[in-house]
Amino acid sequence: SSDELKSILQFITTVARKAGDLILEGSEAIQTTSSQETGVNEKKNSVDLVTEYDVRVEELIQRELKEKYPNFKFIGEESYSAGKRDPLTDEPTFCVDPIDGTTNFVHGIPWVCVSMGLIYERRPVIGLIYNPFLNHLYTGIKGQGAHLSRNNGEPRKLPLSSLPKPLLSLNGAVIAVEWGSDRNAASIDAKSLSFSRLAGDPEKGVALGKMAHSLRSLGSGALNCALVAQGAVDIYWEIGSWPWDVCAGIVLVQEAGGVVTGSHRTLESTISTDQFGDVTEAVLTGRKYLLIRGISDSQ
């Protein structure tokens, strides 16, 4: 029920704030430790990073959630990497990225968040994204809107700015794109091509005839979603996001009046996505790996 969802959100907010404190402590430790002792490890390649704090923050979150909601399932970035993952069923399932923006975290760039979603009947119904460095807390409940509280202030309804006209042109848009951690040639080529088309190289055939105001690669998929919900960014596009990168963000974007397209619709399928799309075509058709504000599927 909607009251149940509210009380779950209230509880996970307290957990996210504790996680945030540990992230801040970790950042301090990493920035003041010599590079040999930082506890930074590589996952699938030298740019796919995990720190001891990713693991510790996830353990803290999982412990608190299990204690309060022992029957809920749990999918977390770090437990998934360690081979422990509950299958996605219709049961309530938390989907957590303890530190989204790990590369930023390691380098001391304060654009990092904890991202916590709740999935019910295979659809995200609660989203929470918290950047402890800025004390920005984004929350959303399916059917009840999305909000942003800055510095513990009164939550403000999202989007903060009014929605633009249907986004049928790139003209004036700010687009968040990410390089991700897949750096094989096919992936990098597909991304570079899309980026240059978006940036407006006529030789590469800007499908929409206009160019975006700019592209941004800020380094956190979850915070990209939050910015789309806020209205600061018009589109977030990425190839190969993981469920925990976007689960909470999907609720925020949808509740703010935006549209989520591509395989993000079904969280399960984002796990092993390896398809590459052309983002300019996708802007027109509303398909593929996009989060768009101000355009609906039927347009």
- Given 78, 100, 178, 234, which residue is catalytic? 100
| Shortest Cβ 178–ligand IPD spacing (Å) | 3
- Decide: is 178 part of the binding site for ligand IPD (CB under 6 A): yes
Torsion of Cα atoms, 206 then 208 then 212 then 218, to 10°:
-80
- Decide: is 280 part of the binding site for ligand IPD (CB under 6 A): no
From residue 209 to residue 238, the character string flagging contacts with ligand IPD as x (rule: CB under 6 A) and all else as - is ----------xxx----------------x
Look up 139 and say whether it is catalytic: no
Look up 278 and say whether it is catalytic: no
8 A C-beta contact, residue 119 and residue 96: no
User: 5, exposed or middle or buried, with CB in 10 Å at 0-12, 13-18, 19+?
Assistant: middle
Distance (Å, whole) CA 211 – CA 229:
22
Distance (Å, whole) CA 74 – CA 86:
6
From residue 105 to residue 134, the character string flagging contacts with ligand IPD as x (rule: CB under 6 A) and all else as - is ------------------------------
Complex with ligand IPD: residue 100 or 255, whichever CB lies closer? 100
Please select the residue that binds ligand IPD; options are 20, 101, 117, 262, rule is CB under 6 A: 101
8 A C-beta contact, residue 147 and residue 138: yes
The stretch near ligand IPD (CB under 6 A) out of 62-70, 78-86, 94-102, 133-141 is 94-102
8 A C-beta contact, residue 211 and residue 200: yes
Look up 201 and say whether it is catalytic: no
- Decide: is 58 part of the binding site for ligand IPD (CB under 6 A): no
Beta strands in the chain (DSSP E): 40-42, 49-51, 73-76, 93-100, 113-120, 123-131, 136-141, 145-150, 156-157, 174-177, 214-216, 235-237, 258-260, 290-293
- Decide: is 255 part of the binding site for ligand IPD (CB under 6 A): no
Look up 97 and say whether it is catalytic: yes
Helices 2-31/52-68 angle, 10° precision: 160
Look up 77 and say whether it is catalytic: yes
- Given 78, 178, 245, 255, which residue is catalytic? 245
Q: Which amino acid is at 141?
A: I
- Give the binding site for ligand IPD (CB under 6 A): 77, 97, 100-102, 178, 180-181, 219-221, 238, 241-242, 245
Active site residues: 77, 97, 99-100, 102, 245
